[in-house]
Amino acid sequence: MDEIVEGIRKFRRDTYPLLKPLYDRLVSTGQKPRVLMIGCSDSRVAFETLTGRGPGELFIVRNAGNIVPRYGAYMGGVTASVEFAVMALPIEHVIVCGHTHCGAMAALLKPELSADMPAVQNWVKFAREAKQRIDKAETKVFDRHLRAAIAENVKLQLEHLATFPCIEERMRAGKLKMHGWVYEIENGDVVEWDQTGQKWLSLTESEETKRDVSGRFGRV
- Which one of residues 78, 102, 158, 176 is an interface residue with Zn ion (CB under 5 A)? 102
- 166 as an active site residue: the answer is no
Part of the chain binding Zn ion (CB under 5 A), chosen from 2-10, 94-102, 114-122, 168-176: 94-102
Nearer to Zn ion, 102 or 154 (CB): 102
Nearer to Zn ion, 41 or 198 (CB): 41
How many residues bind Zn ion (CB under 5 A)? The answer is 4
In the complex, the smallest distance separating the C-beta of residue 33 from Zn ion, rounded to whole angstroms, is 22
The values of phi and psi at residue 117, to 5°, are -125, 80
- 99 as an active site residue: the answer is yes
Dist CA 76 CA 216 (whole Å): 33
Positions of E strands within 100-188 = 177-184
- Which one of residues 36, 37, 38, 42 is an interface residue with Zn ion (CB under 5 A)? 42
Dist CA 174 CA 133 (whole Å): 29
Instruction: Compute the Cα dihedral for 66, 72, 77, 83 and give only its sign.
Output: positive
Q: Does 40 bind Zn ion (CB under 5 A)?
A: yes
The residues, any chain, with a CB within 8 Å of residue 102's CB and separated by 6 or more, are 40, 42, 65, 146, 150
Part of the chain binding Zn ion (CB under 5 A), chosen from 10-18, 37-45, 139-147, 169-177: 37-45
In the complex, the smallest distance separating the C-beta of residue 92 from Zn ion, rounded to whole angstroms, is 26
- 93 as an active site residue: the answer is no
- 44 as an active site residue: the answer is yes
Report yes or no: 124 and 104 within 8 Å, Cβ to Cβ. yes
Report yes or no: 71 and 164 within 8 Å, Cβ to Cβ. yes
The site string for Zn ion over 43-82 (x = CB under 5 A, - otherwise) reads ----------------------------------------
Active-site residue (options: 12, 25, 34, 44): 44
Closest by alpha carbon to 166, among 95, 97, 84?
84
Dist CA 36 CA 139 (whole Å): 32
Q: Does 184 bind Zn ion (CB under 5 A)?
A: no
3-state secondary structure of 28: helix
Nearer to Zn ion, 40 or 178 (CB): 40
User: Where along the sequence are the contacts to Zn ion (CB under 5 A)?
Assistant: 40, 42, 102, 104
